Amino acid sequence: MCIPGSADVTLTLPVKSEANPSTQAALFTQARKLVPAALPGLTARSTIEADRIRLALDLPADRKAESLEFFPLEEARIEPAAAQVLNRRDGVSLYLTAAKPVKADAKSLAGVVVANGGPAKPGGWAAVVEAPLVAGVVSAPGTAAVGANAPTMSLVAALGAAFIGGLILNLMPCVFPVLSLKLIGLAQHRTHSGPMAAHGIASRSA
């Protein structure tokens, strides 16, 4: 109800002579450990050719990258929906797709790299990188590339997933009663073949 109102309230806060950590201090400490920061010993460089970008990383000895993702800190740098392919044949390289149109004034590629699911996972970590972006030759990652972040599935699996999704959609409480009401309405017009056929076609189209 949009009725104007007002009230006078008071609040008494205790005053202490010195500040002490709260009972939630450990949660803040844990959260700060998850914030990406510059990682000593990590260097990065990037090469661009047309809409292909190769982000090469030199990792410290104590860091592994079984999987790797890159999140740019600047917009219009990479295509966010494109697959990111990890290649470890010649070091650690992540192949990205540049955003279109490619900005001619882009001199660096800044972002966050997340390895092995991030710092919340065992063996995972994240770091901020800023790689100089230079024009060059970016070859395809090849068949030996591993760690494509965009999952693929077969046609049979896709059809099965679509069938299950259709069942879930039609059996939801907000949809299933509507289907029943529609069927009851069609049954009430069973003696009228013309309108019933039209209703059936409209129901299938919906």
Residue 119: its pLDDT value, please? 92
Same domain, yes or no: 111 and 173: no
E-assigned strand segments in the chain: 43-49, 52-58, 68-72, 85-87, 92-97, 108-115, 125-135
Quote the tokens at residue 6: 């007002």
Residue 21: its pLDDT value, please? 87
Q: Do residues 125 and 119 make contact, with C-beta atoms less than 8 angstroms apart? A: yes
Q: Nearest Cα to 132, choosing from 43, 29, 40, 38? A: 43
How far apart CA 180 and CA 188 sit, in angstroms, is: 13
Does 84 fall in a domain?
yes
Residue 192: its pLDDT value, please? 62
Residue 100: its pLDDT value, please? 85
Same domain, yes or no: 163 and 201: yes
Tens of each residue's pLDDT in the chain, 206 residues: 677 888 999 999 888 888 888 889 999 999 998 999 999 999 999 999 989 999 999 999 999 999 999 999 998 899 988 999 999 877 899 999 999 887 777 889 999 999 999 999 999 999 999 999 999 999 877 544 444 444 556 788 889 989 898 888 777 777 777 777 777 776 776 666 566 666 666 665 55
Same domain, yes or no: 39 and 131: yes
Same domain, yes or no: 129 and 35: yes
How far apart CA 103 and CA 113 sit, in angstroms, is: 22
Predicted model pTM: 0.59
Same domain, yes or no: 128 and 161: no
Does 118 fall in a domain?
yes
Number of domains making up the chain: 2
Residue 1: its pLDDT value, please? 60
Does 170 fall in a domain?
yes
β-pairing verdict for 52-58 and 68-72: unpaired
Does 142 fall in a domain?
no
- The domain in which residue 113 lies consists of 31-135
Residue 142: its pLDDT value, please? 59
Residue 57: its pLDDT value, please? 95
